[in-house]
Amino acid sequence: MSLFDLRLQEIHNKLHAKELSVTDLVGEAFAAIGERDERIQAYLTLDEAGARAAAARLDNKLVSGEEKGLLFGLPVGIKDNMVTEGLRTTCASQFLSNYNPIYDATSVLKLKQADSVTIGKLNMDEFAMGGSNENSSFQPTRNPWDLSRVPGGSSGGSAAAVAAGEAYFTLGSDTGGSIRQPASYCGVVGLKPTYGRVSRYGLVAFASSLDQIGPVTKNVEDAAYVLQAIAGYDSKDSTSANVEVADYISALTGDIKGLRIAVPKEYLEGIDPKVKETVLEALRVLESLGAVWEEVSLPHTEYAVAAYYLLASSEASSNLSRFDGVRYGVRADHAGNLLDLYHESRSQGFGPEVKRRIMLGTYALSSGYYDAYYLKAQKVRTLIKRDFDQTFEKYDVIIGPTAPTTAFPLGSQVDDPLTMYLNDILTIPVSLAGVPALSVPCGFADGLPVGLQIIGKAFDESTILRTAHAYEVHTEHHKKRPVL
């Protein structure tokens, strides 16, 4: 049994009882990485020297009896689009292959203040653009449950590392499903908080009105602990919401009697029959615990993917204009003039998917097309948000599958962008509405994990955590581990 199979509270009890040291925990992480990561390829950069030094400092803190942080001693991997002081941050792009930040993202800093130990940076789709981790310019990450399949994306490295026991927990970022979809594919818990709940300061922007940082963990309780540590207002982030942070850990009461669940019929149409049956079985479990559920309609769901890719690509084309070969990152050699420098640097630095989205976004924002595409997509986004608002007037949570299928084979969709984009059809509406959602393991289909998506009202992470925890307590799916 791995130390990482223990619950957070069990680890802390062992640390306080001197049955375990932080050095042991960090050693467990690097032993697992050394044994498995050549096959999984979840990490892009490791910081073993820094992690072991931090572990030694925390072990001294343990001996001295100083006050300890909420995540004391836990080894964490960070998605490689969050800046980490002195630790290479690439966004899985050749453009930033030599970038060493001089400061920490707020979420990373909060983890340090909570006494966790950063062990390395995790692979992802380049600039978070993709749903399979195959768009990394360095290496594809593989699903620990089946090495021939994708782990999902863009936070595929974050989910695979937790599933493979290569980190106690990780941070990912979610723009259109990039935490929840890989969590579903890899059989772990992934939480996208409400937009503005966690600071985006230090997160390399893809789509600024959608990006949100969240935890990937083995169980719901750990997700509550991590969210407790990283949530809160940040004056450095203009989109950070100054809303009181709830006590997420106390919310895990296990009591969901009378909980009102909405199940959108659109979320059960056109999905894998085995995924659908697994989700319906999960609803029956929740029903046995006292919850009630009804089928509802979110009528604008069918327009979500089109609206999202117009909006996200438009924001990406703006955000990525800073990568020009002048200020930092790749700089083309022998450019004849300034325009050639821009062209050659961006041609060399960006991969195909990033170029595709920049071109789509630039087109949608261009004169003569703005009203027809970008503005119309914004109006559709409002209609999608209104669907959620109206549903939440009557129901406490919305539940459905996280993804329409289980993890698909590597290479099977990489040349078919439209099919790849449709894998996010169940997660994208949530991102457009800005509300929180969590994916929790709810079973298996053909030996591969299936995720249950629980969606809540804005800033009501407590209810989705309480619902997921109650379900988890009465099932065993989250305890199963891939054989590596």
Number of alpha carbons in the 13 Å side-chain half-sphere of residue 352: 6
Q: How many CB atoms lie within 10 A of CB 454?
A: 29
**Helix-, strand-, coil-residue percentages of the chain, each rounded to 5:** 45, 15, 40
Catalytic one of 79, 110, 121, 218 = 79
Calpha distance 184→180 (Å, rounded)? 6
Alpha helix positions (H), 114-154: none
> What's the order of all strands across the beta sheet hosting 75-79?
43-46, 117-122, 75-79, 169-174, 212-217, 189-192, 437-445, 448-455, 397-401, 260-264, 292-296
Q: Are residues 192 and 155 in contact, defined by beta-carbon separation less than 8 angstroms? A: no
| DSSP reduced 3-state for 426 | coil
C-alpha distances out from residue 376 to 175, 310, 311, 315, 379, Å: 20, 10, 10, 15, 5
Catalytic residue among 116, 158, 173, 178: 178
Nearest to 229 by CA among 217, 99, 165: 217
Annotation says 79 is catalytic: yes
Give, for 43, the enclosing helix (H) or strand (E).
Answer: strand 43-46
| CA 305/CA 458 separation, integer angstroms | 21
Helix (H) or strand (E) holding 162: helix 156-163
N-term to C-term CA, the chain: 13
User: Please, what sign has the CA dihedral across residues 86, 90, 91, 92?
Assistant: negative
CB 70 within 8 A of CB 226: no
Catalytic residue (one of 154, 158, 431, 462):
154
Angle at 300 between CA 294 and CA 301, to 5 degrees: 70
188 and 226 in contact (C-beta within 8 Å)? no
Give the Cα separation of 87 and 78 in Å (integer): 11
Spatial separation of the C-alpha atoms in residues 305 and 311, rounded to whole Å: 10
* DSSP bridge partners of 169: 76
Q: Which residue has the tokens 């106390």?
A: 250
User: Looking at the annotation, which residues are catalytic?
Assistant: 79, 154, 178
